Structure 1
Amino acid sequence: MLRVAVAGASGYIGGELLRLLHGHPRATVVAATSDRFTGRRVDGPHPNLRGHTDLCFVGHGDLTGLDLDVLFLATPHRETMARMAGFLKLAGTVIDLSGDFRLRDPETYASYYETPHTAPELIPSFTPGLPEWHRAELATADRISVPGCMATAGILAVRPLAEAGLIEGEVRVDARTGSSGSGASSGSAGAHAERSGALRVFAPTRHRHEAEIAQATGRTVRMTATGVEAVRGVQVLCHTTLAAGVSEKDVRSAFRAAYRDEPFVRIVAQRRGLYRLPEPKILSGSNFCDVGFAVSGETGTAVLIGALDNLVKGGAGGAVQCLNARFGWPERTGLEFPGLHPN
C-alpha cells in the first residue's frame, strides 16, 4: 500500500484527489495540507467526504518525515515552482497538477504566465502526465506534470490527426468550461449572481492552454475560452484544415488507430442521436474523455471535438491514472465510475 499525501488539498482539485485516493485500493492518504484550514477536518470544505475519513488538514511543513511514496501537488501556479525543490525531497514520486512544469520552454512559460520561471533547471526532469501519449515514459517517471483540463481535451482531440499528417495550417480552439475551472477561491467572478446565465469570454486570445496544445501537437494553436453556466465540464471545438485528399474515413481511422486500446478515450461521432458528439454533461465525475469530429468535404475542413470533466480526467483523475501507469497497475484502478445520466 502506497503512502500518499496531497499538498494544497482544500481546493476543488485537491478535494477530487482526496475523493479518488480514498477509494483507491492501493493507496493510503496519510496527509492533506492547507495553510488556510490547518487543524480542521477535510470534510469541512469537502462535505462529500463525510463518513469516509477523519483526516485533518496539516501545514506544508508537517509533510517532513512522513516517509511518503507519492506526493500530489494541487498548489497554485507560480507558487509551486518556487517550492518544488523542497517538495521533491518529500517523496519518491511527485505528481504536479499546477501549470509550472507543463511547458518545456521557460520563455514560453514566461510569456503565458507573465512571470519568469524560477526553476527552469527542473523542467526537463518532468514527464508529461498524459498516459495516452506518454505511457512508456510514465512507467519509470518520478516527476510527472499533469496537463491542464482544456489542454487535455484539446491534445486528445487534435494529436491523432497531427501525428498522422492529416491536418495543415493552424488549429483554432473554441473552449468552454464550467465554473469549477476557476477554482474554489475565484472571488466575485465565480459568484452565482454573476455567473448564472452568463456566457463569459474570459480569454479571447492567448489562453495558456493553447501553448500546451501547440507543444503536444506541433501545430500553431489559437485559443479562445468561454465560461458557461455548468459547474463541471470542458468541451473544446478545434477547427482544422485537412490535408489534400483526406476523407472522413481517414479521420475516423486515425482516431481508431490512436485510441482503440485506451481505457479512458471513447470515439463519439455518430450521425444521429441526442449524444452523437462529445458532451461533458454525461461525463461528470468520470475519468473519460470523449473525442469526435465533423468533416466538411466541401471546404476540406474538420471540427475535432473533445469533452471531459475538468476536475477528473482534466485534473485529479488524470493524476491518479498517471499514478496507476507509474506503478504498473491497471489504469482503471480507482477510476471505474462511469458518469451519470441523467444529470
Structure 2
Amino acid sequence: MIEVGIVGGTGYTGMELLRLLAGHPQVRVRAITSRGNAGTAVDDMFPSLRGHLDLQFTAPDAETLGRCDLVFFATPNGTAMQMVPELLEAGTRVVDLGADFRLKDLPTWSQWYGMEHACPDVVEQAVYGLPELNREAIRGARVVANPGCYPTAVILGYLPLLEQKLVDASFLVADCKSGVSGAGRKAQVHTLLCEANENFKAYGAPGHRHLPEIRQGLAQIQGSDVGLTFVPHLVPMTRGMQGTLYARLTGQANLQELYERRYAAESFVDVLPPGSHPETRTVRGTNMCRIAVHRPADGDTALVLSVIDNLTKGAASQAVQNMNLMLGLEETAGLQQIAVLP
C-alpha cells in the first residue's frame, strides 16, 4: 500500500484530495497537516468523510512526512519551497498544488508572487504536471508542479493547434470563466454570497499570475514565445471552469479530426461531436476535460471550448493522476468518478 501525506488539508483542494485518496485502491493517507487545526478529527471538519478516514490533523512534521512515499502540498504559495528540499533528501516524492515550482524563470516568479525563491535548484528539476503534455517526464520526476486551473483548461484547448503549427501563435485570446471556489476557502469580501451571487465580472485584465504559466506551457508546445491575451471572469457558481479560446488559422486542417486524433488515447480528455457546446456540470467532481472545436462561418478563426472542474482536473484529481504516474500505478486509478447531475 502506498503511503501519502497532505500538507495543508483544510482548503477546498485539500478536501478534494482527501475525498479522492479515500477511494483510491492502492493508497493510504498517513498524515494530513494543519497548524491551526492540529488535533481536530478530519471528519469533524469534513463530515462527508465520516466512515472513510480515521485521521486527525497534525502540525507539519518533516520526519513523519519523510516516511511517506509521496507528499502533496495544498498550501499557499511560498510554503512548499521551504519544506520540499528536506523531503527530497528523505527520498519522498512531491506534488505541489501551489505555484512554487511552476515557473522556470525565477525573476518572473518573484515578480508575480512577491518573494524570492528559496530553492532554485529544485525548480530546475521540477516537472510541469500536465500529463497530456509531459507524461514520460512525470513518470521519472521527484517533484511535480501541478498546473493551475486556468492553465489546464487553456493549454489542453490550444495544444493540438500549436503542435501542428496551424495558427498564428502571436495572437491568441483566452476568455475564461471560473466558479467562486477557485478563490479558495479563506474569507474574502468578493466571494461572499451577497457579493458573488447574481453577479458576473472580469478580473485581472491588466495581468493575472496564471498568465506567465499559460504562456510558458504554450511556448513549450509551439517551440517559441506566444502572444496571449488572457482575461479571467468570476461567475456565480461554486465550481467549474470554461475556457473560450480564439486563434487565427494559418494552415488547413479538419479541426474535428485533428482534436479527435490527438486525444484519442487520453483517458481524461473528451472531444465532443461536431457542433457541441460542453457544459461545466458534465465534469463536476471528475478528472475530465471536455472540448469542442468550431470554425465559425467557415472563416479563419478556430474557436475552442474547454471545460473542467477547477477543483479536480484543475487541482486535486490532476494531482492524483500525477501521483499515479510518479509511483508506477495505473494512471486512471481512483479517478473514474462520474459527474453528478443536476
Scaled to the shorter chain, the TM-score interval is over 0.9
**Equivalent residue runs for 1:185-204 within 5 Å:** 185-204=186-205
- Contact kept? 1:70, 1:92, Cα under 8 Å: yes
Paired letter, 2:186: S
The residue that corresponds to 1:229 in the other structure is 236
Q: Gapped runs of 5+ residues in structure 2?
A: 220-225
Query: RMSD value over aligned CA atoms?
Result: 1.7
The alignment status of 1:147 with 2:147, answered yes or no, reads yes
The number of aligned residues is 335
Distance 2:246 2:294 in 1: 10
Q: CA deviation at 1:62?
A: 6.5
The residue that corresponds to 1:267 in the other structure is 271
TM-score of the pair, normalised by structure 2: 0.93
The residue that corresponds to 2:164 in the other structure is 164
Distance 1:90 1:43 in 2: 30
Q: CA deviation at 1:82?
A: 3.2
Q: Gapped runs of 5+ residues in structure 1?
A: none
Distance 2:235 2:64 in 1: 41
Distance 2:284 2:47 in 1: 18
The residue that corresponds to 2:210 in the other structure is 209
Q: CA deviation at 1:269?
A: 4.5
Name segments (4+ residues, structure 1) moved above 6 Å. Answer: none
Q: Deviations over 1:292-313 (max 9, x none)?
A: 2221355411122211111111
Give the share of equivalent positions with the same residue, in percent. Answer: 33
Q: CA deviation at 1:66?
A: 5.8
Q: CA deviation at 1:186?
A: 3.9
Distance 1:234 1:176 in 2: 6
Stretch moving more, 146-155 or 119-128: 119-128
- Contact kept? 2:148, 2:315, Cα under 8 Å: yes
- Contact kept? 1:20, 1:317, Cα under 8 Å: yes
Distance 1:62 1:108 in 2: 29
- Contact kept? 1:293, 1:304, Cα under 8 Å: yes
Q: Give secondary structure in 2 for the equivalent of 1:313.
A: coil
Q: CA deviation at 1:241?
A: 0.8
Q: Deviations over 1:262-281 (max 9, x none)?
A: 0000002432xxxx222211
- Contact kept? 2:66, 2:87, Cα under 8 Å: no
Q: CA deviation at 1:91?
A: 5.0
The residue that corresponds to 1:76 in the other structure is 76
The alignment status of 1:254 with 2:261, answered yes or no, reads no
Q: CA deviation at 1:319?
A: 0.6
Q: Deviations over 1:21-50 (max 9, x none)?
A: 111111100110011111101123322112
TM-score of the pair, normalised by structure 1: 0.93
